Structure 1
């Protein structure tokens, strides 16, 4: 690493004392800072509360514990961690462009939030793959509980491995008297390592998940279309330059972090079981009144006839009338234990 990239802890402490009271090119009026602080606070509160509620709805109710919903728990956990451990610190860093949190937390910020982001992407990919199997190949066996746990553990291990170089090469630097948390790759072959790392990340975090989700949902859509299933909503530089940059700097960070709060809102809007769960979770609020139907929706297992009707709608029973009621089954339709997927 270059000599300019390494600073001692004494220099960091001295610099932080100066930075605390200093005015930088990224400083802004108090009222603007208050507005941005409010925006970030709302983001964190909505993301943490919403994702924690999604996790509770699924884990606390037996009927909600399906393969797809376990991947949703993993996605919600990743988004919750992103909001809790990244958004607030990014706001403080972006609002003054000074790192106040020390060397150890610099390493943490370049490991865990990045890991959570990767986990979120691969959880969405796993959900797409599970929906593909459930709809396109409904009679194939679904992932077992141990298999689901193994896939989730694999997602976290892969995400940690992909985020580790960012953490390993994180360091504290001094830039015109301001403390920065940056990733500094080694001088020897550093550019090649950086290029290789970025290519791997692009391939594994962008290209591969995008291709898998695109193919999976395309085949799902074609399958449902051909079966005529009723259509449903599917689921430095000059000071002037710095001032211009400041206007969009916090907005970009806020938009990037706001993705952590969207999924719970989508679940609540598009899925009646999650709406019931949210009403039960926030029943202490005076404007929320859960009904008996909400409790039944999350606790009662649907009857066999209801499941058959759902499967009939998806045309998983449209094999042939004579085959479905063959003598081998004594005229009885198959139940979930015979390989039919439960509705997630």
Structure 2
């Protein structure tokens, strides 16, 4: 296994212990309390924020658009990651003892990779949708059944990618201490483990980020040069163009936040595969807990970004938390989420083939847009 018998697990990487009760890496009570508070705050913000985003979109017909359905998929993955992974792996990393049984050991080696894959490929799908809407507005758009098929495909591929690690998960008893490990067959030198993790990191991080970087570069050039095909000919308003820019800025910020949060964590795993002796140091537990918190914090930032940069989501959050004495939603907030301009008004505002080619269902959902900054597809 390596210099310090490092426990191999995709989402929990912590040093092995030498005794049956207290580990060599046990923390003082005050330190454990600080980490517990930090992780608890993360979980609460992530769960409440993402649950609110899902409610805003699904409970209001005007918000049910292709881009927003992918945002629901992203929020669901983040919510589940915060609920089912963050707290349990924090306990494992801080105590180095697996308390949660064999079945949950399988789940913990299946779900984190699945959720990461779903998160970043939901962002990639949003990028593709924005690319088609802005760079190729005259091409047919993704239909509702097509959106559902893409979302289902993302989940199926994610589960397939995570299945090998889940399949080889096992519970071991080492010096009287229970461990949840991944025991790759015939992998004494760890090459199978290394290859699998490099493939996973490439597929759930580097490859989609490169694709999104290229796509958003083209989108940015198209928008900031005001060169969207048909815009000049049909006289789309400056406000409408600014709305498109606002959507792109929001999604770019979401992608950049994800990339920054996860990069140190992935580098930690890559370094650990080549220098296992780093896990022998006392300080590595604090390093791991900090990097793991940063990675998991990616699950709580998106709702904050939507609320800060998007008027309709901001109205939705005010409506969702109207029971709080310091929050008073206005009639304008309700109209933002419920009022849909007539199709004739939208056509008069936009006069683009993109609007005229909308499917009837999209027209009723306000997918043509009205020049306001919003998440839905269409313009």
Pairwise same-fold verdict (TM > 0.5): yes
For 1:238 and 1:289, the matched residues in 2 are separated by 52
The corresponding residue for 2:68 is 69
The corresponding residue for 1:295 is 334
Equivalent runs, 1:33-112 vs 2, <5 Å: 33-112=32-111
Does residue 268 of the first structure (1) align with residue 307 of the second (2)?
yes
Q: Secondary structure at the match of 1:70?
A: helix
**TM-score where L is the length of structure 2:** 0.74
Distance change in 2, residues 1:299/1:149 (3 Å): same
Does residue 114 of the first structure (1) align with residue 153 of the second (2)?
no
Greater Rg by CA:
1
The corresponding residue for 1:342 is 368
8 A Cα contact 1:26 1:242, kept in partner: no
The corresponding residue for 2:15 is none
Question: Which segment drifts farther, 95-104 or 287-296?
Answer: 95-104
Distance change in 2, residues 1:161/1:190 (3 Å): farther
Cα distance, 1:335 vs structure 2: 7.3
1:26-83, Cα deviation, whole Å (9 max, x unpaired): 2111111111111111111100000000000000000000000000000000000000
Question: Which segment drifts farther, 294-303 or 58-67?
Answer: 294-303
The corresponding residue for 1:160 is 159
Distance change in 2, residues 1:334/1:246 (3 Å): closer
For 1:80 and 1:230, the matched residues in 2 are separated by 31
For 1:100 and 1:277, the matched residues in 2 are separated by 39
Does residue 200 of the first structure (1) align with residue 203 of the second (2)?
no
1:285-343, Cα deviation, whole Å (9 max, x unpaired): 1111100001000001034576357647xxx57x9xxxxxxxxxxxxx94745999624
8 A Cα contact 2:43 2:83, kept in partner: yes
For 1:116 and 1:188, the matched residues in 2 are separated by 26
8 A Cα contact 2:82 2:296, kept in partner: yes
Alignment match of 2:289 (pick from 225, 229, 250)? 250
Equivalent runs, 1:124-143 vs 2, <5 Å: 124-143=123-142
Equivalent runs, 1:227-246 vs 2, <5 Å: 227=226, 229-230=241-242, 232-233=245-246, 234-235=249-250, 242-246=281-285
1:133-177, Cα deviation, whole Å (9 max, x unpaired): 111111222111111000000000000000001101111234454
Equivalent runs, 1:176-191 vs 2, <5 Å: 176-187=175-186
Q: Which runs of no fewer than 5 residues in structure 2 stay unpaired?
A: 7-18, 228-240, 251-275, 370-375
8 A Cα contact 2:116 2:204, kept in partner: no
8 A Cα contact 1:78 1:120, kept in partner: yes
1:243-286, Cα deviation, whole Å (9 max, x unpaired): 32233232122111111101111111110000000010111111
Distance change in 2, residues 1:310/1:206 (3 Å): farther
1:182-238, Cα deviation, whole Å (9 max, x unpaired): 111101698554455335324432343123211211111111122265594412979
**TM-score where L is the length of structure 1:** 0.81
For 1:51 and 1:227, the matched residues in 2 are separated by 34
Equivalent runs, 1:7-22 vs 2, <5 Å: 19=20, 22=21
For 2:79 and 2:69, the matched residues in 1 are separated by 15
For 1:203 and 1:246, the matched residues in 2 are separated by 25
Q: Secondary structure at the match of 1:219?
A: helix
Cα distance, 1:113 vs structure 2: 2.4
For 1:167 and 1:143, the matched residues in 2 are separated by 33
Distance change in 2, residues 1:195/1:76 (3 Å): same
Q: Secondary structure at the match of 1:243?
A: coil
The corresponding residue for 1:280 is 319
